Amino acid sequence: MERRSATVDWLIKIRPPATNARADDNQAPAPRLKRLAARTPAAEPQALPRFLMTAADQADPQSSDESAETRSRLSAAYTPSRPVSDWRMFAGRTGVLSTLIRSIEHHRMHAVIFGERGIGKTSLMHVLAHAAREARYLIVYISCGASSNFDDVFRAVVAGVPLLFHRDFGPASAEAERGDTFADLLAPGPVSVHAAGDLLGRISGTRLIVMLDEFDRSESSEFKRNIAELLKNLSDRSVRAQVVIGGVAANLTELIEHIPSIQRNVLALQVPRMTDEEVRSFIGNGEAFSGIRFSEAAVELVVTAAGGMPYLASLLCHHAGLVAIDGGKPAVAAEEVAAAMEVALQELKGRISRRSQLESAILMGRPMRLLVRLSDALGASTSSFTEDDIHAAFPRAQDLMRCRELVEGLAEEGILLTREEDEWGTNYRFVEHSAVAYLRLLYARALALPNRRLAQSKALED
């Protein structure tokens, strides 16, 4: 039988019945467009997908989907594609947050927040900003890009500082009343680090926190060097401005060169994986916010699969919730989480090369278990690790030996890992960082297959 394309099927479906065509034929021939318009009412109206919520976050009154509001609450509760902006949805991290606040408030330090992608750096910065605003700090948040340069970034920073906080102007000055900012005091032409420090030195009556997120994206070493110099300049003169830098990196110096000389003024904070308890509280927050409950088994499956990565936890909860709503289920069960793993895997596939996908798949079994355990132990350091890191990850001699062999073999073949030698020894690195999350989910799915008991997921920790 002849196969028709989907487009042809669709055209046939909307073609008007033959009787209408005959009625038309009895009339005087109409222009083609007119004829089409006249036939439209007889055609099956095509149900185009609609937005379920209005832009004001109300359920669309024309929509017949009663679950629209639940979906919308679910999407606000679990936001895998964006950082937490509502502090009420921020789970755990109290230790990390209080260390940050203490360093900023008591020690007037700058901070560099680093760690793997999706670990929660931006979310942490947002919540820190919220806490600081409550204490009447001024916050300027900037997301850096590949082409960020010092001049543009600094101008954007001081455009966020009203002139009423300038010690030479004050709130009653005409300029302040006009709404001028510190940026209006800058002369045209590139701003030097020295001039930038001087200008920030004029802040009075408040404190400024400059947040430079996604710092690793900047490709300009000049920009990074200038920021490092600015930090030093500000610390030397106890200016009322502090800088918080965020970015993907395994350590401080990978993120910002030239920083060792000013290290004592800088808090280097590696965001760790979440504890299982923190992931549970993350799910709990979402349950309370969305009204969608997760069964105990569902919670445990998310905890196991996420391995402390909030991005994965968020992705799984979001999709599992949607699957439950679609199925008209009152709560999310392990079954929905398993279905969410499939969706999440598809989504992650879009972010890694076909090569990494295939290489991950062939590692199924013990090699994958070892690699997942290794990457869990490495956390932020997956971008680069050494023999010593492997040692630390595997206290049991037998596992250590197997893992070393595996890493060596994979790096030799260039499968998922690469190897570089420098004067200090051998460094390994995952070719694609996103492959780590993919690998983790692939392994968690294998453990959660229906013919296995959920308890087997404990094997990840063994």
Ligand X SMILES: Nc1ncnc2c1ncn2[C@@H]1O[C@H](COP(=O)(O)OP(=O)(O)O)[C@@H](O)[C@H]1O
- Residues contributing to the site for ligand X (CB under 6 A): 79-80, 83-84, 89-93, 117-123, 282, 310-311, 314
Size of interface with Mg ion, in residues (CB under 5 A): 1
The DSSP code for 423 is T
122 vs 265, which CB is nearer to Mg ion?
A: 122
119 vs 338, which CB is nearer to ligand X?
A: 119
Q: How many CB atoms lie within 10 A of CB 37?
A: 11
Provide the minimum distance between the beta carbon of 343 and ligand X in the complex, in angstroms, as a whole number: 15
Question: Count of residues for the chain?
Answer: 462
**Residue 186: both structure tokens together:** 């800058």
For 72, 73, 91, 133, 420, the CA distances from 88, given in Å and listed in that order, are 17, 14, 8, 15, 44
**Centroid of chain to Cα 135:** 27
Burial degree of 11 (CB within 10 A; 0-12, 13-18, 19+): exposed
Q: Which does 286 bind (CB under 5 to 8 A by kind): Mg ion, ligand X, none?
A: none
Query: By beta-carbon distance, which residue lies closest to ligand X?
Result: 120
Beta-bridge mates of residue 112: 245, 268
Provide the minimum distance between the beta carbon of 117 and Mg ion in the complex, in angstroms, as a whole number: 7
In order, the DSSP letters of 40-89 are: GGGSPPP-----SB-TTSPBPTT---TTHHHHHHHHHH--TTS---SGGG
191 vs 298, which CB is nearer to ligand X?
A: 298
- Say which residue the tokens 């420090």 belong to: 197
Query: By beta-carbon distance, which residue lies closest to Mg ion?
Result: 122
**Residue 69: both structure tokens together:** 């509001």
Provide the minimum distance between the beta carbon of 92 and ligand X in the complex, in angstroms, as a whole number: 6
Q: How far apart are CA 381 and CA 433, in angstroms?
A: 10
Q: How far apart are CA 460 and CA 462, in angstroms?
A: 6
Provide the minimum distance between the beta carbon of 214 and ligand X in the complex, in angstroms, as a whole number: 8
Q: Which does 166 bind (CB under 5 to 8 A by kind): ligand X, Mg ion, none?
A: none
322 vs 411, which CB is nearer to ligand X?
A: 322
122 vs 242, which CB is nearer to ligand X?
A: 122
119 vs 161, which CB is nearer to Mg ion?
A: 119
89 vs 323, which CB is nearer to ligand X?
A: 89
145 vs 260, which CB is nearer to Mg ion?
A: 145
Provide the minimum distance between the beta carbon of 150 and Mg ion in the complex, in angstroms, as a whole number: 21
Coil, strand or helix: which one is 120? coil
**Which residue type is seen at 440?**
R
Provide the minimum distance between the beta carbon of 248 and Mg ion in the complex, in angstroms, as a whole number: 8
Over the Cα atoms of the chain, what is R_g? 28
> Using the rule CB under 5 A, which residue among 70, 79, 103, 122 binds Mg ion?
122
113 vs 439, which CB is nearer to Mg ion?
A: 113
Helices (H), 137-238: 150-158, 174-177, 193-200, 221-236
CA atoms within 13 A on the CB side of 188: 0
CB 316 within 8 Å of CB 305: yes
Q: Which does 321 bind (CB under 5 to 8 A by kind): ligand X, Mg ion, none?
A: none
Beta-bridge mates of residue 244: 111, 211
Comparing C-alpha atoms, which of 90, 145, 443 is closest to residue 286? Answer: 90
Q: How far apart are CA 51 and CA 54, in angstroms?
A: 7
Provide the minimum distance between the beta carbon of 281 and ligand X in the complex, in angstroms, as a whole number: 8
Provide the minimum distance between the beta carbon of 415 and Mg ion in the complex, in angstroms, as a whole number: 29
Q: Which does 307 bind (CB under 5 to 8 A by kind): Mg ion, ligand X, none?
A: none
CA atoms within 13 A on the CB side of 235: 21
Which of the ranges 22-30, 121-129, 190-198, 317-325 carries the binding residues for Mg ion, by CB under 5 A?
Answer: 121-129
The DSSP code for 181 is B
84 vs 163, which CB is nearer to ligand X?
A: 84
Provide CB contacts within 8 A for 73, sequence distance 6+: 289, 290, 291, 292
Provide the minimum distance between the beta carbon of 222 and ligand X in the complex, in angstroms, as a whole number: 25
Residue numbers of the site for Mg ion (CB under 5 A)? Answer: 122
